[in-house]
Amino acid sequence: MAGKILTIEEAGKVSKQERVKGKKIILVGGCFDILHKGHVLFLEKASREGDVLFLLLESDENIKKRKGENRPINSATKRASILSALPYVHYIIQLRGVTKNEEYDKLIVQIKPDIIAITKGDGQIKKRKEQCRMVGAKLKIVIDRIATPSTTDLIEFIK
């Protein structure tokens, strides 16, 4: 499982190796703080769009900024470990230190995915379209939002 977890520096190199083998690369991203049914279905359906699924995993610092002081519940290391157990997630890139759009864009260019997969209603759809144009990828909505509790809903329920 540890071989699935890549540094930012390794991601471009591994992606290039996969492309040389003729593999179609899918890219997804997110927090995946408390893994739930919606996450699992999204990742499974995204993986069907190609051969190799790369997952950009948000840093603890970014999650804290976006979702509040008490988040994430699980550290990036724990989240990466859990996600690496899923057979349809091939590589996980922990986004330590990536905070600016330019840094995300640079990483997208390095990975050069064929498909960027998102959930319907993704708040970053405009940015994802721009990233697709940058690398000649297709944007693919692979799933509607699932009517299961979100991570935030689960946390509130537990409280």
Rounded Cα distance, 144 and 129, in Å: 18
- The answer to whether 79 and 32 have CB atoms below 8 angstroms apart is yes
Name the residue with tokens 């988040």. Answer: 71
pLDDT digits (tens, 9 = 90+) for 65-76: 988 898 999 999
Distance in angstroms (rounded) separating the CA atoms of residues 158 and 2: 31
- Residue 1 pLDDT exceeds 60: no
Instruction: State in words which class domain 2-158 has.
Output: alpha beta
Q: What is the pLDDT of residue 153?
A: 73
Residue 117, classed as helix, strand or coil, is strand
pLDDT, position 146: 75
Residue 2 is predicted with a pLDDT of: 60
Q: List the domain boundaries for the chain.
A: 2-158
In the chain, the percentage of residues whose pLDDT exceeds 90 is 75
Tens of pLDDT along 100-126?
Answer: 889 999 999 999 999 999 999 998 999
pLDDT-derived band at 12 (thresholds 50, 70, 90) equals very high
Give me the pLDDT at residue 139, please: 98
Q: What is the pLDDT of residue 31?
A: 95
Strand bridging mode 115-119 / 138-143: parallel
Q: What is the per-residue pLDDT for 156?
A: 76
Q: Is the pLDDT of residue 78 over 60?
A: yes
pLDDT band at 132 (very low <50, low <70, confident <90, very high): very high
